[in-house]
């Protein structure tokens, strides 16, 4: 029984099943009881009917016996006896039955067998002579007993009907009670818990992972389901909170990474703008420390040949174990090193097998650097190395450029002023010999003096041209503007010469080196055409040619260049040849068929040269470009 109650407490299905089973049992019991009682009442009615027939037959039997018809009396007596036997079979009273009906039936049966039947048979055969009144009185006495038996059967039938009514009312009440308990159980154990479960599920769907399940603390299936959902919700809520914390942490890390990337971008942009000084590096080191939450940093800057830093920048306490004699070994160490009080992480500033110092991060001995922090430190060390390398490379390039420029100045002076001064020195020596002789040839002295004046004027003009050349700079306007200003200057100085200028290289990207060499070459050829051609027309053309080449031609209609020009007058040609070779181009200076001189130059720019096969010969392209340009036929005869 205890197991049944335990099962009822733990299972809604079992509980509802028990209630339905009890309802069915009550209904079936009511139907069975109704059937049994109805069946018993039906026999009681038959017994009443038979008893009433016995009563009627008793009067008929008395009348027949009084008439003296023995056979009819015998037949009626047998029929009445059968009716009593039928009542006995219907009632089936046991001998131990002491009820009023059983007692009255035995009394009727005994009176019939022992008194009434012998009396009526004797009267019918004439063995006894009894009066009608006496026989009727005897029959009434027997009928009274039968009437009493009928009343007993009627009372029994009424009792059964009353009992049937009580059974039906009881089963109706029991059914109503069971139905009520069933509905109450469904409402209490199923409907309300399901409503809470549905509300909790909707809350979970909306993100509320803390449902209120006050009605679901039972041990049944829904209670178990509620506890499972509650536990699952708690796990989900905990996981959700952990995810939120992780998202916040990742967001913080991403924000920090963004700040570090922005720092690296600003540092790289600053490095590209120019070299960093010590104060700037110290500010960048301080900002980097604040971004990465690294409080102790050392930045030692050394020359590649030195063993001690020329600048030691410290943020925070730095490396407390740093000693001067350990600088060389520290700058060439890499990775973590555990000390007594601090753990050190060293990042050497190395590039092209040259060491420029070391970046040291100091931490407590029990603390380690994360991989991301190590990457940031390495990136910062690389940026500082890049800044130092660019600074060193820029200084080296400036030194090389200075030396190149000095070489160019020396070459220009040698090819111009030096030769002119040598010529003047020779003329002064001739003049000295003439003045020391006994007889002075005044015509010769006058000739030498004129040549000295002419040489001085030529030297002064060459000096001005050299100063103008050395002061030339490609401004923001580009190559076109500086050439246009030079042409305007020539026009102002020589208004008798018609100078034409055609520039079509706007769509071609030229490097600064290409612009400088092309500018100097065009200026040199233009000066020769203006000052030495003795013509009245000069044409300057810079146009794109075939195969992405650049064509430059300077033509005049003067006397034309001689077949073997004197170096004194044409010292600029060698300079033009050198500039053409620097641009890996082709220079051609020749006399034009129509008169005058043409200086034709063609080269392939750097952007186009990178796309060509290494074994390609561009000389054919130069000659085809010259023929296509048609610059030699610009002027007529």
The DSSP line for 549-579 is -EEEEEEE-SS---SS--TTT-THHHHHHHH
Q: Tell which wins on pLDDT, 318 or 555.
A: 555
| pLDDT tens track for 171-193 | 888 888 888 888 887 777 777 77
Supply the pLDDT for residue 541: 94
- Whether the per-residue pLDDT at 633 is higher than 50: the answer is no
Helix (H) or strand (E) holding 178: helix 132-185
586 touches 580 (CB < 8 A): yes
What torsion do the CA atoms of 502, 504, 509, 511 make, to the nearest 10 degrees? -10
Task: Look up tokens 């170096």; give the residue.
Answer: 567
Lowest mean pLDDT among 54-58, 463-467, 614-618: 614-618
Supply the pLDDT for residue 172: 87
How far is Cα 364 from Cα 147, in angstroms, rounded to an integer? 123
How far is Cα 613 from Cα 227, in angstroms, rounded to an integer? 79
How far is Cα 539 from Cα 554, in angstroms, rounded to an integer? 6
Cβ neighbours, 10 Å, residue 140: 14
Report the candidate in 382, 189, 392, 190 with the shortest Cα–Cα distance to residue 275: 392
Which tokens is 5 given? 């109650």
Supply the pLDDT for residue 576: 79
How far is Cα 604 from Cα 622, in angstroms, rounded to an integer? 9
* CATH code 3.40.50.170 for 475-633: no
3-state secondary structure of 617: coil
3-state secondary structure of 391: helix
pTM of this structure: 0.47
- Whether the per-residue pLDDT at 465 is higher than 70: the answer is no
- Whether the per-residue pLDDT at 292 is higher than 50: the answer is yes
CATH topology of domain 273-392: Beta-Lactamase (3.30.450)
Supply the pLDDT for residue 637: 34
Task: Look up tokens 């009343």; give the residue.
Answer: 151
Residues 293-311, mean pLDDT to the nearest whole number: 80
- Whether the per-residue pLDDT at 256 is higher than 90: the answer is no
Task: Report how far apart the first and last C-alpha atoms of the chain are (Å, whole number).
Answer: 138
Task: Quickly list H helices, 297-338.
Answer: 327-331
Q: Tell which wins on pLDDT, 230 or 381.
A: 381
Chain centroid offset of residue 218 CA:
44
Residues 283-295, mean pLDDT to the nearest whole number: 85
Query: What are the residues facing 591 on neighbouring strands?
Result: 597
Q: Tell which wins on pLDDT, 503 or 148.
A: 503
- Whether the per-residue pLDDT at 321 is higher than 80: the answer is no
556 touches 540 (CB < 8 A): no
Q: Tell which wins on pLDDT, 2 or 453.
A: 453
3-state secondary structure of 55: helix
Supply the pLDDT for residue 551: 94
In the chain, what percentage of residues exceed pLDDT 90?
Answer: 6
| pLDDT tens track for 392-421 | 887 777 777 677 767 767 766 766 677 777
- Whether the per-residue pLDDT at 531 is higher than 50: the answer is yes
Reported in sequence order, the residue ranges of 467-620 that DSSP labels E, i.e. its strands, are: 498-503, 537-544, 550-556, 586-591, 597-603
What torsion do the CA atoms of 33, 39, 44, 45 make, to the nearest 10 degrees? 120
Supply the pLDDT for residue 544: 92
Q: Tell which wins on pLDDT, 464 or 454.
A: 454
550-556 and 354-364: which strand pairing? Answer: unpaired
Supply the pLDDT for residue 554: 93
Q: What does residue 63 show for φ and ψ, rounded to 5 degrees?
A: -65, -40
DSSP 8-state class, residue 506: T
- Whether the per-residue pLDDT at 621 is higher than 60: the answer is no
* CATH code 1.20.120 for 2-196: yes
How far is Cα 176 from Cα 173, in angstroms, rounded to an integer? 5
Question: For all residues of the chain together, what is the average pLDDT?
Answer: 77
């Amino acid at each position: 029984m205890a197991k049944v109650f335990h099962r009822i407490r733990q299972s809604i299905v079992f509980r509802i099943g028990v209630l339905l089973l009890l309802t069915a049992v009550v209904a079936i019991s009511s139907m069975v009881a109704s059937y049994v009682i109805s069946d018993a009442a039906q026999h009681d009615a038959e017994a009443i009917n038979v008893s009433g027939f016995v009563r009627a037959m008793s009067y008929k039997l008395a009348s027949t016996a009084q008439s003296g018809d023995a056979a009819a009396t015998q037949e009626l007596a047998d029929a009445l006896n059968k009716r009593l036997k039928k009542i006995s079979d219907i009632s089936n009273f046991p001998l131990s039955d002491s009820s009023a009906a059983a007692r009255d039936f035995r009394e009727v049966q005994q009176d019939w067998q022992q008194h009434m039947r012998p009396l009526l048979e004797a009267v019918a055969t004439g063995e006894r002579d009894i009066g009608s009144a006496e026989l009727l009185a005897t029959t009434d006495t027997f009928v009274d007993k039968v009437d009493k038996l009928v009343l007993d059967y009627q009372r029994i039938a009424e009792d059964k009907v009353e009992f049937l009514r009580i059974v039906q009312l009881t089963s109706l009440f029991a059914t109503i009670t069971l139905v009520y308990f069933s509905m109450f159980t469904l409402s209490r154990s199923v409907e309300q818990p399901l409503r809470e479960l549905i509300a909790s599920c909707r809350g979970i769907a909306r993100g509320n992972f803390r449902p209120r399940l006050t009605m679901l603390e039972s041990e049944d299936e829904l209670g178990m389901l509620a506890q499972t959902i509650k536990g699952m919700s708690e796990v989900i809520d905990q996981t959700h909170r952990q995810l939120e914390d992780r998202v916040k942490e990742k967001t913080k890390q991403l924000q920090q990474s963004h700040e570090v990337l922005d720092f690296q971008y600003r540092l790289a942009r600053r490095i590209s703008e120019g070299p960093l000084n010590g104060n700037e590096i110290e500010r960048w080191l301080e900002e980097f420390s604040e971004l990465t939450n690294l409080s102790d940093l050392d930045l030692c800057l050394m020359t590649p040949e030195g063993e001690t830093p020329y600048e030691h920048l410290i943020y925070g306490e730095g490396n407390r174990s740093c000693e001067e004699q350990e600088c060389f070994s520290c700058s060439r160490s890499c990775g973590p090193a555990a000390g007594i009080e601090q753990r050190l992480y060293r990042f050497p500033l190395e590039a092209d097998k040259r060491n420029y110092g070391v970046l040291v991060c100091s931490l407590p001995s029990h603390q380690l650097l994360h991989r991301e922090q190590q990457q940031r430190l390495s990136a910062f060390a690389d940026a500082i190395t890049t800044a130092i390398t660019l600074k060193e490379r820029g200084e080296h390039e400036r030194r090389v450029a200075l030396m190149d420029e000095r070489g160019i100045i020396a070459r220009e002076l040698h090819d111009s002023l030096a030769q002119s001064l040598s010529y003047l020195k020779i003329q002064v020596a001739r003049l000295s010999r003439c003045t020391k002789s006994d007889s002075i040839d005044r015509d010769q002295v006058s000739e030498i003096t004129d040549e000295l004046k002419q040489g001085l004027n030529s030297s002064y003009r060459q000096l001005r041209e050299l100063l103008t050349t050395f002061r030339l700079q490609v401004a923001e306007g580009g190559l076109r503007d500086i050439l246009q200003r030079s042409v305007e200057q020539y026009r102002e100085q020589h208004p008798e010469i018609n100078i034409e200028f055609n520039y079509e290289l706007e769509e071609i990207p030229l490097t600064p080196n290409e612009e400088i060499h092309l500018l100097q070459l065009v200026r040199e050829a233009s000066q020769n055409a203006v000052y030495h051609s003795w013509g009245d027309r000069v044409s300057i053309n810079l146009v794109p040619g075939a195969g992405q080449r650049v064509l430059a031609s300077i033509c005049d209609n003067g006397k034309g260049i001689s077949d073997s020009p004197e170096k004194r007058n044409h010292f600029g040609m060698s300079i033009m040849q050198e500039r053409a070779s620097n641009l890996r181009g082709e220079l051609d200076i020749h006399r034009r068929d129509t008169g005058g001189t043409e200086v034709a130059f063609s080269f392939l720019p750097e952007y186009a040269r990178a796309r060509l096969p290494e074994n390609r010969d561009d000389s054919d392209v130069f000659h085809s470009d010259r023929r296509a340009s048609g610059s030699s036929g610009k002027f007529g005869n």
